Amino acid sequence: MTPSDSPTPAGAHRVPTRIVGILGGMGPAAGADFVGLFVQACIDWMQQHGQAVNDQAFPEHWLAQLPVPDRTQALSAIGEAADAPLAAMASGLHRLEQLGAVAVAMACNTAHAWHAALQARFPRLELLHVAREVALHLQSLGVSEVGLLATQGTYRSALYEIALAQAGIQCQLPLEAERETLMRGIYDGVKTGDLACAQGCFVEVAERLLARHGDIALIMGCTEIPLALPSAPQAARWTLVNPAQVLARALAKRAYSG
């Protein structure tokens, strides 16, 4: 019998939950992966709070997996193209709000460049901010310096640099050529299913960043990177931070705060 098949003991207290949502599709594999992270975060929450783990104890949650124009390309565009992802993301959030979600996590780091605009459109939703959640997490661990592996769009928006600086954490960035290597791993690797290519690109940049700055933690600041980098043999020696995992835990906390 698996934990989810275990019956709830008679008279056991069931913690009330709230409906939450996940905005995915950026890309689809990352959205699907985030659901798994959220389910595990719920299991961890229940076990930590003495709650029986069974099917009925999980919160109602919805995944809006829809096509969203490329976020990094939009952040380097001008005119209407610069806000191309906004309408698609707003459509997904509207559907999640109609389904009763009170808190939503976006399964894409770069998409948080539109966080303020989306939050303003949906004031009744709590739209979690991945960089702020990661900064709070690292601050609680006493981390003072990190390296950031991310997309060009995330670097351009300075999402992590701002959030980490507010938490008193220094953020080290790859060089421009190394950022292009990361993009190759994301687009020619993960997004096409070539994980060997992705892993090679991610490892190359991580090694160079660590060679320059020492044994610092590395934030995998794109939801595609954790799909390839952690399984690399070299990564066994590194401290990797998965923002999607941190965000999933934050969403589970909101789901069980009702």
Mean of pLDDT values over 111-135: 97
Looking at residue 4, its pLDDT comes to 41
Measured CA to CA in angstroms, residue 5 lies from 1, 47, 91 at distances of 6, 15, 36
Q: What is the pLDDT of residue 258?
A: 62
Q: What is the mean pLDDT of residues 236-244?
A: 97
DSSP 7: P
Q: What is the mean pLDDT of the chain?
A: 93
Task: Please indicate whether the domains covering 3-129+246-255 and 131-242 agree at the CATH topology level.
Answer: yes
pTM: 0.90
Of all residues in the chain, what percent carry a pLDDT higher than 90? Answer: 88
pLDDT of residue 13: 60
Helix, strand and coil in the chain, % to nearest 5? 60, 10, 30
pLDDT level of residue 82 (50, 70, 90 thresholds): confident
Residue ranges per domain, the chain?
3-129+246-255, 131-242
Residue 6: pLDDT above 50? no
Per-residue CA distances from 124 to 121, 127, 223 (Å)? 9, 9, 26
| Closest CA relative to residue 225, chosen from 86, 33, 88 | 33
Query: Under a CB-based contact definition with an 8 Å cutoff, are residues 222 and 154 in contact?
Result: yes
Q: Which CATH number fits domain 131-242: 2.60.40.1120, 3.40.50.150, 3.40.50.1860, 3.30.70.100?
A: 3.40.50.1860
**Residue 11 predicted with pLDDT over 90:** no
Mean pLDDT of 225-239: 96
Nearest to residue 230, comparing CAs of 246, 239, 3?
A: 239
Cα gap 69→89, rounded to integer Å: 9
- H/E run at residue 217: strand 217-221
Instruction: For tokens 């934030």, name the residue.
Output: 219
pLDDT for res 217: 98
Helix 130-140 and helix 159-166: axis angle, to 10°? 40
State in words which class domain 3-129+246-255 has. Answer: alpha beta
